[in-house]
Every structure is written in structure tokens, then in C-alpha cells.
Structure 1
Amino acid sequence: MASALRTSVRRFATTAIRAAAAETPNAYGVRVSKAQGSVDQLVGAIGNTPLIRLKTLSEETGCNILGKSEFQNPGGSVKDRAALYVVKDAEERGLLKPGGTVVEGTAGNTGIGLAHVCRSRGYRLVIYMPNTQSQGKVDLLRLLGAEVYPVAAVAWENPENYNWQAKRHAERLLKEDPEHGAVWTNQFDNTANRRAHIETTGPEIWAQTEGKVDAFTCSTGTGGTLAGITRYLKDVSNGSVKSFLADPPGSVLYSYVSSGGELKERSGSSITEGIGQGRVTDNLKQEVKELDGAFSISDEKTIEMVYRCLDEEGLYLGASSALNVVAAKEVAEKLGPNHTVVTVLCDGAYRYADRLFSDKWLKSKNLRDAIPKRLEKYIVLP
């Protein structure tokens, strides 16, 4: 009798626990986990990043400002998407076979994304990069298995530009080993980059906002993210979603969009890395006329937003991400209250901390005074 009673109590307790679990405060997380399930290898974890509502800026503008948290990709940036798609494109076209080699010219996150993708899929990776980049980036790429060639930093038009050296390296390897194949993935003009965002990022944003998105904005380097997301959102909304370019100093794209197509001489520079352009890439070319405008964002606004996002949102963002957030705020102010504006949080500040939070570096860029007094406590490096 006592034994039966204990069994009944245990069953009752188990049932109660299961019922409580069904009503857990993490019900949303459980639903997302069920939808995600398990993925096949690292590349299956690329994408499906959350949209984060930026509370303070949303309240300031009366809008809903959302950031796509691309720093949560396995390689730490939005470039994981492009890296996967340029490799997939080469596979689909028969240019890469098991044991083949991927070659790219990149100074930043695309190389890191490619390193992860190539290790996961069993390819060799060769990277050409300007020798102006930090030793830390070179070391990280090599740690991830890439063969790295730092070369002199020269203009795109120069045949010794790192991109053209990467192209020649791939052509040489292909002649030497046609059985396995080699490909220059050419992130700037390979429209598989744009396709990544038409097929993944754009649909994710639309689904996550349940179609209630009024505008999108981000900066551009290769043009793939801006072009791909713009194309998808324009198509799915029958043109009602507005799209705006965010541009740093030293880029010609703001003037190009604002002037209706006049490509001016490039001048100046910015603290941001991997964004801003002196030309219209093939990725951007097809969608540049779809843009509804452009915003030129100063380095002063960008660095202040790096610190604001850390202080107000707990988000540890790189300069390109902060520039995008500034642009989202300005788009919200342009549209007025009760609009939803989405941008891209490209990567975190982890690879840039020795500059962004350094008193010496800020002074060297004449940006020390751009940090509000209340945020100076984050300048923790000499």
C-alpha cells in the first residue's frame, strides 16, 4: 500500500513537472529550438540569426529599430553567408572538387568565413591580403588553416592589387591540378554573394517581422548584403519597403546614389573596415537604382554609437555595425514615428578592441572628443 502510494506521488510530481515545463517562461526558446533542430556540420549553423530590438533608439525615435545579429554566425560576422554561397556556387558549377583549393583576396571577415567553410567542406584556402592589416588577422587566418600572403597595398586598378594576385594564383593552381580544381571566389563581383542574401537574410527578416518592415539600411563593401536584402524585400513587399545605403567617409557611393549616378573621385578615409567603395560592384550594380536614398555617416557619429550600443544595449559592436545603427536611427527620424527599420549588426568589436577603446588611438584619429563624458569610462586601454 505504502509502495503504491509512493508510486502515485512520483507520477503526480512527474506530471506536474511536465505541465510546468510546458508553461515555462522560455516557451519561445523551446519553439525556436524545435524549429532549428540539429544541423549538418558547421555550415548548417550559418544564418537564422535573431533580430534584436534596440530599446533606447526605438524609444528616442518612436520607431521599432531592429538589428540583425550577424555577429552570432559561427565565424562571427555577416560574411559567413557570402563565404558559404561563393563556395556552393563553385561546387554547383563544377569548379571545385573534393580536395580542391579556394583562393580569395580579402582584408577581413570574408577570409575568416571562408576559412571556416573550407575546413568544414575539406578544401584548401589561400588568402591574399594587403600588408597594412594587423598581424592578428594574419595569425587568425593561419590558425584556421589558411595559407596567407600579405602583399603591398595598391589600388584596384594596379595589376599587383591583392585581388588580381589571388586571381592569378587560382589560375596557376587550376593548370597544375585540374583534377581537384581551384577557384578565385571574387567576392566583390561574384553575384553568388548577393544570392546568399536573397535566399537567406532577406526572407529571415521578412519572416521575423511578419512582413511589418518599412525600411532597411546598411553599409556596403562588396555590395552583396545591401543588394540581396533590398532585392528580396522589394519583391516580397511589391516595392513598399524602402532601402537606404549607409556610407562612411572616403566612399563614392553616397554621392553616386544621391546624384543619380555620378561616380566622383574617391577622397578621404574612415575608421571603418571592409565598407565603402570607389566603384559600383557587380553585386550592387543590379540593385543600385532600387535604392530610395543614401546617408553619409561621419566617423564621429560612428564611434559615439559604438559606445552608446555598449552602454545602452549591452551590444559590443564593431565600427561598421555602429555605422549601420546610426543610419537606422537617421532613417527612422526621416520616416517619422511608428515605422519599423531593420539594419545589420555585421560583427562584434572583438577584433577591433585595441583601437576602438584605446585613448591613444582615439586621439590619433581626432575622435577622443566624440565620446560623451558619461561614456568615457569605456576607454579602458591606453
Structure 2
Amino acid sequence: MDAFKHSSIIDAVGNTPIIRLNRVTKDTESEIYVKLEYLNPGGSIKDRMGIYMAQKAVENGDLKPGGTIIECTSGNTGIGLALYANTHGFDCIFVMADKQSQEKIDALRAFGAKVVVCPTHVEPEDPRSYYSVAASLKSLPNSFHVNQYDNIYNAECHYMETGPEILRQTKGEFDVFMASVGTGGTVSGTGKYLKEHIPGLQVVGVDCKGSILKKYHETGDMSGAHGYLLEGIGEDFLPGNVHFDVIDEFVMVEDEESFHMTRALCQQEGIYAGGSCGAAVVGAIRYAQKLSEPKRILVILHDAGSKYASKVYNDQWMEENNFSLNRERDEKDRAILNIIQDNGKLVE
């Protein structure tokens, strides 16, 4: 029956909505639209390429029946891979950096995956890094190391699926495509497809302070990487899936402004999204402000806010990391306090 057209959770991935931002962009002449990729079943755009890469591994004979999927992940790609693994009888081992949220670690374990946590602040080639540990685990019998950073099917997924979906939804009626950049698959694959079908389209990547991607794109210099708190955006090396020839320019953002925008998206637009989404919107507004005339900008919002409840959405975490909240009680808060008096507590 057509009413029951999804044969598994895999079929529910994609066709996420595009909406216009209103309140957080009120001082911006350009129209900024966002594609809500956090509404995918696993809570992020990485459902798309996680499933796609696993499917290709099976088709190519790299992932065999009863095998184990191995990957280093900030969390989201792991969940996408787990969706495929759990519906097709594979095991998973995921390696993560210790800066990732506990929610994402717990989610991967809930899917039945084994999770290995490694130190964040080491060089990529250090044997303790999550890249190196994941690569070493591929020696396990009947295992497949996905390597999303250099796996060609990462960008290909977005070229084959995400780009065409956006074109169908928008009829190509926008001027700029933007996304925060980590592995590079989303901006590269989607951007390439859209450029081929929308004359004059600009593709803009959002990078964060501490990453080398923007600097390398502009100067060819790979130095200067340092730590930052945003997850799933930026790198201290050059992933093969960052196709710099597709990306026209990068916009730089910082932790604090990105986290404040993430909270604003939730409180002013009803969009409960992750920190890299706040970064992407900050980048879009910054890009729009330098334009000589208003444009229509489409931004990818990668993942869900529920994965960061203990971090960006937690006042104590924000204050511990010296991100000012500058909160003042409004009249409604004072009215609530006057009513409840000693009979309850206002939980902020």
C-alpha cells in the first residue's frame, strides 16, 4: 500500500524541509533559508552519506556479510552508518575525540556500537589520535574502515542525492549555497551539482577559528591550527572530500558567536539545532552583510540540538567556558516568581 511506502528506516532519510529565517536575520537585507537536515531519522545530514558509503562498500565487496564497520566520527556519521548496519546485520566500532558530547557517545552505544574515545589535542598522525586509532582497527578480521574524509562516496552521495533534492525543492531560485565544512562532502558534492544547474551560483564554506581550511584556500598555508569547541566543523588537515575548486570562498566564525546563534535559533526561530548550525547561520549573515545587493542564501543545518543539550544549551557549560550569557530577568520571569513564591522553583 502507498500509505506504507517505507520498507525500513533507511527509506525515511531525505526530503527534509527548507524554511526561511525571520527573527535572527531581521537586520539582514538578504533572504536566508535553511534546510533542516536534523529532521533525518538519525538526527543529521550524515544519515545520507553514512548509508550511501555503507551501501557502496557492500556493492564493491569491501563490506562482507557479518562484517564490522570501523570509522572515526564526531558522532553523526557513526549514527548514519549504524542505521545501515543495524538494518543489515553488521557490527560497528566507532572512534571519537574526547571533546565530543556525551549525548553522541551514548547514542552510538544505544545503537549497539562499540565506542573508543581518544584525546582531541594531538596531531592527526599521532598514534593516539582518533584518525590513527580507527585506521589501526582495520586490521580486525572481516572489517571495513570507511574513512569518510577521503572516501569518494561521501561527496558523491551529496552530488547524487542532496543536490538534486535541493534543486527539486527550490527550482534553483537562490543565489548562494552555504554549509559549514568538516569532511567537506556536503559542500563539495552538493555545491558541484548545484553549480552545474544554477548559473552564477556561489558556493561558500563556513570554517571556524582554529581550523586551517579557510587559510589554506586563500594562501596555501596549512599552519596555525589550534583547539576549538565547535563539533563537526573545521579540520587541522586537508580531507580529500574538501574540493576547494568547488568552493568560491570561506567565511570564518568563532565558538562564542556560533553558540549564541545556536541558542537564538532555538529561542527565536524554534529550530533546535547543533552548534555547527549556529556557525553556519553566523557565516551566512556575515557573508550577506558584505554583499552590494540582497541575495537569496540557502544554508544547510547539519544536525539536531538534542545531541548538545549538556553543552551549548546548558548555561553552566557556557559559563564554565567563559561564554557570557548576559541574561536579565524579564517581566514575565518576575511575574512567575511572584506567583510561585515558596511553592515552587523557576527552572531557567
**TM-score in same-fold range (> 0.5):** yes
CA RMSD of aligned residues (A): 2.4
Amino acid at match of 2:275: A
Q: Alpha-carbon deviations, 1:107-163, whole Å to 9, x = none?
A: 321112211221012211111223454544333212211122234443211133222
Distance in structure 2 (CA, Å) of the matches to 1:235 and 1:85: 22
Between the aligned partners of 1:321 and 1:313, the Cα distance in structure 2 is 13
- Kept in 2, the 8 Å contact 1:357–1:381? The answer is no
Q: Summarize the Cα distance change of 1:304–1:135 in structure 2 as closer, same or farther, 3 Å threshold.
A: closer
Q: Aligned-pair distance for 1:292? A: 1.9
1:249 is aligned to 209
Given the alignment of the two structures, is residue 365 of structure 1 paired with residue 313 of structure 2, yes or no?
Answer: no
1:170 aligns with 138
Q: Distance in 1 between matches of 2:106 and 2:224?
A: 35
Same amino acid, percent of matched pairs: 35
Matched, 1:216 2:216: no
> 8 Å contact 2:34–2:299 — kept in the other structure?
yes
Match of 1:72 in 2: 39
User: Is 2:295 the partner of 1:314?
Assistant: no
Residue 104 (1) aligns with residue 71 (2): yes
Which amino acid in structure 2 is aligned with residue 276 of structure 1? G
Does 1:270 find its partner at 2:228? yes
Distance 1:290 1:135, change over 3 A: closer
Counterparts of 1:116 and 1:355, CA distance in 2: 25
- The one-character-per-residue Cα deviations of 1:179-217 (angstroms, maximum 9, x if unpaired) are xxx210001111211111111111122221111110011
CA distance in 1, matches of 2:26, 2:101: 38
Q: Deviations over 1:7-26 (max 9, x none)?
A: xxxxxxxxxxxxxxxxxxxx
Is the partner of 2:311 in helix, strand or coil?
helix
Q: Which has the larger radius of gyration?
A: 1
Q: CA deviation at 1:336?
A: 4.6
Larger relative helix fraction: 1
User: Helix, strand or coil: the match of 1:350?
Assistant: helix
Normalised to the residue count of structure 1, the TM-score between the two structures is 0.80
Q: Deviations over 1:260-300 (max 9, x none)?
A: x2222212x3331121111221101xx20232221111223
Which structure 1 residue ranges, 5 or more long, are not aligned? 1-33, 175-181
Give the match for residue 28 of structure 1.
Answer: none
Mean CA deviation greater in 105-114 or 52-61: 52-61
* TM score, norm. by length of structure 2: 0.88
Q: Secondary structure at the match of 1:355?
A: coil
1:1-382 equivalences under 5 Å are 38-57=5-24, 59-153=26-120, 154-174=122-142, 182-238=143-199, 240-259=200-219, 261-267=220-226, 269-284=227-242, 287-369=243-325, 373=328
1:336-368 C-alpha deviation (Å, 9 max, x unpaired): 554210111111211212222333322222211
Answer yes or no: is the 8 Å Cα contact 1:57–1:329 preserved in 2. no
Gap change, CA 1:302 and 1:95, over 3 Å in 2: same
Structure 1 residues 237, 136: closer, same or farther in 2, change over 3 A?
closer
Q: SS of the residue aligned with 2:136?
A: helix
Contact 1:358 1:381 in 2 (8 A): no
Unaligned runs of 5+ in 2: 334-345
Change (3 A) 1:348 1:165: same
Shift of 1:98: 2.5
CA distance in 2, matches of 1:381, 1:216: 39
Amino acid at match of 1:114: L
Q: Give the C-alpha shift of residue 92 in structure 1.
A: 1.9
Q: Report if aligned partners of 2:101, 2:308 keep a CA contact under 8 Å in 1.
A: no
AA aligned to 1:41 is S
Query: For residue 18 of structure 1, what is the aligned residue in structure 2?
Result: none
Partner of 2:337: none
Q: Which amino acid aligns with 1:315?
A: I
Letter in 1 for 2:83: H
Question: 1:248 Cα deviation (Å)?
Answer: 1.2
Q: State the match for 1:8 in structure 2.
A: none
